[in-house]
Amino acid sequence: SGESGAGKTESAKLLLQQIMNLCKGNSQLEQQILQVNPLLEAFGNAQTVMNDNSSRFGKYIQLRFQKNTVRGAKLSEYLLEKSRVVQQDAGERNFHIFYYMFAGLSSEEKEMYGLLDPSLYRYVSGQFGTQNVAQRWKDKYQEVCNALDMVGFQEQEQVDMQTILAGVLSLGNVTFDPEESNGPVKVSEASKGWLKAAAVSGCTEPVCVLFSLLSCEPFSELLCSPCADARDSIAKMVYGRVFGWIVRKINELLAENVDPEVELREIGILDIFGFENFPVNRFEQLCINLANEQLQHFFNHHIFQMEQAAYKEEGLPWETITFNNNEPILNLLLAKPLGLLSLLDEQSAFPQATDKTFVDKLNSSFKGNLHFQPARGHVLGFSITHYAGKVQYDARGFLEKNRDTLPANVRGLFISSVTPLLIPLHIHHEPGPTLARVKCGDQAHILRHSLMVLMERLYSANPHFVRCVKPNSQKEPGVVDNQMVLLQLQYNGLLETIRIRRDGFSWRPFFEEFAER
């Protein structure tokens, strides 16, 4: 754990390499496991203002062992930041894979996928990079292809996947014009070529699905803004489905092939997105910071509560060490029925509710709460004092992102798709005022459930904590900002941890071992 850019992903890769090295088997499975991280980074990481290779999802890798040999691995992923596909703030980029494709594909392959100059695509903000950066991306694309091959992805699967990604980029350039004031809308003349590119890129069925969707009847009933929202919803859903398919495929390819009667031991590595405080913080940052609050609470429980309870139980002379308990913040966020996420789900269930009614509900519910502050003036937002400091959240888009809805007719179109990448999950209909929607599940509810399952896993294990400390905010090597480091040591509880390790009993032999000595 640690804040964004502190080195969690790099540490996780080093730890994985060390474990594979200790197995000393050098089997194909071990090499495949080592390729999982670079593969997932391409599809799940992106450049942010805090970190050039920021994990925009959480992952938990379970390594299964028989004696000292690794027999299989399983991956769980949490909360991919799908909104990044359609929007990035200043100084940020989309997921790496889009840039790798532009830099690494040959001219013939680009023509096959219908890809043009990257500066033309809205979803990558028309950005590319210098020649040096482009060369690095080209090398990275080759690494991704090698990783896909080594892990066991078929060539046709790789082609399908890239066809869909190219289709997503083209879809982002489709715009809409009203045929007359307050009347039905149509795809703008200028973007008909993009619509065709989204439809026929590679002539594969998933991309034809996108075309079918955009040419189907409900769109003619809509105004331009809902059409654009629907287009972006589809792009996010498709990218999320591709990412989920990659993870499922990895799990199929790396599953252990042993007798069910054989007992396997397990080592799990959790590498989750770090605490974030950007100039503008949205729904995604709240989800990320909640996950970090949970991890901090887990750390406190093991290092302080369990440790000191053991000293008292054994009658050791001990002066209690106090620590910054973040339980009140977790209650503010997770309590039922009046925690922030419960109120968000409640508001999301009302078709008439808006981000403003949600914020008004928070202001009345948390009046006087030390960890919650209403926004000043006419700003639609609120602040939460997290364990790592105060973060101001922009509440615009909270309800829409939490609802995570899709036009209802999309469901039938994706059911008819023959590719496994886009077979829909079990989703239910929720009619809306102008367009039937498919509800993919409140994101706050999904987040709460995912975190509960994750914490159950962690509490059932024997944990070791790797606390990553960020040396400076300039993303520079060899520079240590003492004040910044000290602040992290304070809010992480590491100064108190040092004290409990120094004053406490860090070496604990078993009685038999003690008697032998």
Q: Which segments are annotated as binding site for ATP?
A: 2-9
Is residue 411 packed enough to be buried (19+ CB in 10 Å), middle (13-18) or exposed (0-12)? middle
Q: Give the H/E segment covering residue 300.
A: helix 283-300
Catalytic residue chosen out of the listed positions 1, 5, 45, 326: 5
Catalytic residue chosen out of the listed positions 9, 83, 170, 405: 9
> How many angstroms separate the CA atoms of 333 and 276, rounded?
16
> How many angstroms separate the CA atoms of 485 and 360, rounded?
37
User: Is 204 marked active-site?
Assistant: no
Catalytic residue chosen out of the listed positions 44, 104, 172, 274: 274
User: Is 54 marked active-site?
Assistant: yes
Residue from 18, 16, 87 nearest 56 by CA: 87
Q: Give the H/E segment covering residue 270.
A: strand 265-271
Tokens 């009993």 identify what position? 505
Inter-CA distances, 218 with 198, 207, 213, Å: 19, 19, 9
Residue from 418, 416, 442, 417 nearest 428 by CA: 442
Q: Identify any residues that bridge with 407 across adjacent strands, giving them in sequence order.
A: 437
Residue from 143, 182, 61 nearest 457 by CA: 61
User: Is 4 marked active-site?
Assistant: yes
User: Is 225 marked active-site?
Assistant: no
Catalytic residue chosen out of the listed positions 45, 51, 173, 191: 51
Catalytic residue chosen out of the listed positions 4, 292, 402, 497: 4
Catalytic residue chosen out of the listed positions 37, 48, 55, 409: 55
Catalytic residue chosen out of the listed positions 1, 37, 48, 54: 54
User: Is 274 marked active-site?
Assistant: yes
User: Is 412 marked active-site?
Assistant: no
Q: Binding-site residues, please?
A: 2-9
Prior bond of 184 cis (ω within 30°): no
User: Is 276 marked active-site?
Assistant: yes
Residue 175 · residue 188 · CB < 8 Å: yes
Residue from 336, 339, 325 nearest 372 by CA: 339
Q: Which residues are catalytically annotated? A: 4-5, 9, 51, 54-55, 274, 276
